[in-house]
Amino acid sequence: MKIQINNTVVDYLKAGDGDITLLFVHGSFLTKHYWREQVEYFKSSYTVVALDLPGHGHSGRDRKHWTMQLYGKDIADLIDALHLKNVILIGHSMGADVVLEAALLQPDVVKGIVAVEALKNAGTEMPVDVLQQMHTIVENLKINFADTMEAYVRQDLLTADTDPKIIHTIVHAYRHAYRPMATEVIAEAFHYTLRERELLQSLNQKIYIINVDYTPTDEEALKRYCSNGYELHFIHGTSHFPMMEESQVLNEALEKVIDKITEDSVPLPYRQYSHI
């Protein structure tokens, strides 16, 4: 299905008819179809919505600028356009920052926020040497976009145990991303930490996080910046893309978190920590 949001065509899917809406936001250069197993799993009990962010998949590209804040407005406006109620926002990777932006704009409608494989160094500025490496990546994108994208994803987002078919799928998605959007999104992501910190401190909700333990999560940063607390869950044995590698494990983790969001009417203790 397609809808006009902020003068851009947005392609989305909607399934189920529950009182609670799960709105899934994909990570950079992916599409709504990466959530297919989650849509199938949850549609019998919830209304489930997933979309292609502008510049991705089958959504429009007629936009001059590509920012997390504008993507957040896209999500907030989609919630209004589809008359969604009792929304739990679920964002993967870059999509987690997008849902933080959207939650700030829809505080009465959004009942929960779930970040998947995100906020591992929440609101923390990168060291100078790392920023220099990031600057080099951005410059290399202008020279050899496809190879630079592939090198980035292989080095930082996949593991030696990732299935070759999944590697091929992810690498293809990154190599063939819409270049004007991808270049701007990556450049912003490397300097987004202060805005991320501001969002975590401004939101009036607890943040639920489901991360894979192939790379560490800095809990001290979460303690410092999540003003209404956080709940961190780990899953094992995948790379940055658990929805593709261990969809059922991710579904079960999401189900536990969603149950907590829907059942808990009283603020929980500041820190809750578990392994799944």
Domain ranges of the chain: 2-123+193-275
> pLDDT tens digits, residue range 201-211?
999 999 999 99
| Average pLDDT rounded to a whole number, residues 235-245 | 96
Q: How far apart are CA 71 and CA 77, in angstroms?
A: 10
What single letter denotes the amino acid at residue 145? F
**Which residue carries 């919630």 as its tokens?**
79
Model confidence at 118: pLDDT above 70: yes
Q: What is the pLDDT of residue 275?
A: 39
Residues 6+ apart with CB under 8 A from 165: none
Give the mean pLDDT of the chain.
93
pLDDT tier at 266 (50, 70, 90 boundaries)?
very low
Model confidence at 80: pLDDT above 60: yes
Model confidence at 268: pLDDT above 80: no
Model confidence at 272: pLDDT above 70: no
Q: What is the pLDDT of residue 128?
A: 84
Q: What is the pLDDT of residue 274?
A: 42
Model confidence at 267: pLDDT above 60: no
User: Rounded to whole angstroms, what are the CA distances from 80 to 74, 86, 229?
Assistant: 10, 12, 27
The hierarchical CATH code for the domain 2-123+193-275 is 3.40.50.1820
| Average pLDDT rounded to a whole number, residues 115-135 | 89
